[in-house]
Chain A
């Protein structure tokens, strides 16, 4: 069911990306809707941004769909979903994840429902960074393994605040972008290993993105995601990636990255690649 949903999204994406450009795209500037992180909504690869998905500005609606594959040494994560942005103010998102644990021949599944609201600032135009608050409600759909490792709950809700800013011509006359996210979470391995281990409180973690626009269409950057380490049975590490993003039009974007996920569920050195496609209406 998970994989069928993802195949459906991917097929839809390819169709959309081949469709002729129309008048539907919103009026915001190219690339300012961001890409889509593995948990859905507007953001980078592994962290949400303060940006509202799509290109909708005042009085406009933006819709985005994405499919992502992360392939590291012992794991393969597929994530796909949809998001809607209204008025450059509100965002609702859905993502469905499936993580193959190849040595155990097990697949861990999770759904993520997201909401985000921009509360201050405009990425390009105000001295004040664009600030948004959001939540990600996560439902683990394969709780046997997380329960065996000591997770107490099969669902949890992350709360976060994000601030994003673009500085024009800041680095060798190129535009510099940064986003910082603070997250309150009880999730183990973003929820794929369940929530709320015994005796542990929620953690406050920091996530960051630093990127340079080489031109209007090509962006390179680095992301860091601090993660809690609540389960006694297995070690959880922070995640990092180095990415290249390409926005050929307001219709479609592609992100390729080197993913550096360290140790997951007792399996060390989880490095590999990340590939994501997003279509926007």
Chain B
């Protein structure tokens, strides 16, 4: 038991210490083309998701698409700077519930599957998106 814990701690430490280039995740997502593919697939899944689709009734979809591509590029270390509002600002008053947030995450995972994103890159991107929960969900 102790050995197992030591081994896993060592592996984790090694993982943290290894120096990856800053844009490593962006490249694993497939760069601009890959990120665009994810967002376009995401929009398709959103449109088919009864739980969340109404939330986007008043959204300018073209602008949403542009900003989301920019944000994922920025978040994954690509050559972009997200210029939109913060997640807290853009979701204020929308009444996003935990169930809706979960549905969005499931749609996003489906979109990454559609876009052919490898499992490891999916996990790393989800790890950077997950902390947004507190800014997006109300209550």
Report yes or no: B109 in contact with A29, Cβ–Cβ below 8 A: yes
| Cβ-defined contact, A216 with B97, below 8 A | no
B92 within 8 A of A: no
Task: Check A170–B15 contact: CB distance below 8 A.
Answer: yes
Q: How far apart are A111's CB and chain B's nearest CB, in angstroms?
A: 32
- A124 at interface (Cβ–Cβ under 8 A)? yes
Query: Of residues B99, B101, B106, which shows the largest number of chain A Cβ atoms within 10 Å of its Cβ?
Result: B99
Whether a CB of chain A sits under 8 angstroms from the CB of B62 is no
* Chain B residue, CB-CB nearest to A216: B109
Q: What B residues does A88 contact at CB under 8 A?
A: 98
- Pick from B1, B101, B103, B119: contact of A173, CB under 8 Å: B119
- A169 x B8 contact (CB < 8 A): no
- Tell me the minimal C-beta distance from B119 to chain A in angstroms: 5
Known: A27-B99, A58-B98, A88-B98. A210 touches B133 (CB 8 A): no
Find out whether the CB atom of A210 lies under 8 angstroms from the CB atom of B106: no
**Do the beta carbons of A222 and B4 come within 8 Å of each other?**
yes
B15→A171 contact, CB < 8 A: yes
Query: Chain A at the B interface: mostly helix, strand, loop or mixed?
Result: loop
For the complex, count residues of B whose C-beta is within 8 A of A.
28
Given contacts A27-B51, A173-B120, A215-B119, contact A210 B8 (CB under 8 A): yes
State whether the Cβ of A75 lies closer than 8 Å to any Cβ in chain B: no
Q: Does B22 contact A (CB under 8 A)?
A: no
Q: Are A169 and B120 in contact (CB under 8 A)?
A: yes
Q: Is A28 an interface residue (CB 8 A)?
A: yes
Task: Tell whether, in the assembled complex, residue A171 and residue B12 are in contact, meaning their CB atoms are under 8 Å apart.
Answer: yes
Complex CA distance for A114 and B68, rounded to whole angstroms:
44
CA distance A30 to B105 in the complex (A): 11
Q: What's the dominant secondary structure at chain B's contact region?
A: helix
Q: Contact check, A125 vs B134: say whether CB atoms are below 8 A apart.
A: yes
Interface residue? B93 (CB, 8 A): no
Which residues from B are CB-within-8-Å of A28? 102
Q: How far is the CB of B45 from chain A (nearest CB, A)?
A: 13
Residues from chain A with a CB closer than 8 A to the CB of B8 are 171, 210
Check A170 against B12 for contact (C-beta < 8 Å): yes
Interface positions of A from 214 to 269, Cβ below 8 Å from B = 215-216, 222, 224
Report the bound CA distance from A187 to B25 in whole Å. 50
Q: A127-B131, A172-B120 are in contact. Are A58 and B99 (CB under 8 A)?
A: yes
Chain B CB count within 10 A is highest, among A60, A124, A125, A224, for A125
Does A174 reach chain B (CB closer than 8 Å)? yes
Interface residue B66 (Cβ < 8 Å from any Cβ of A): no
Q: Does B53 contact A (CB under 8 A)?
A: no
Chain B 20-76 residues near chain A, CB threshold 8 A = 51
Contact of A210 among B4, B97, B109, B119 (CB under 8 A): B4
Q: Which of B123, B131, B134 contacts A175 (CB 8 A)?
A: B123
Given A27-B106, A58-B97, A171-B15, answer yes or no on A224-B1 (Cβ-Cβ < 8 Å).
Answer: yes
Q: Does B11 contact A (CB under 8 A)?
A: yes
For the complex with contacts A57-B97, A58-B97, 6 further pairs of A-B residues with Cβ separation under 8 Å are A125-B131, A125-B133, A125-B134, A168-B126, A173-B124, A215-B119
Show 10 A/B contacts (Cβ-Cβ < 8 Å), sorted by A: A29-B102, A60-B99, A168-B123, A168-B126, A168-B127, A169-B123, A170-B12, A171-B12, A173-B119, A216-B109
- Residues of B in contact with A (beta carbons under 8 Å apart): 1, 4, 8, 11-12, 15, 51, 97-103, 105-106, 109, 119-121, 123-124, 126-127, 130-131, 133-134
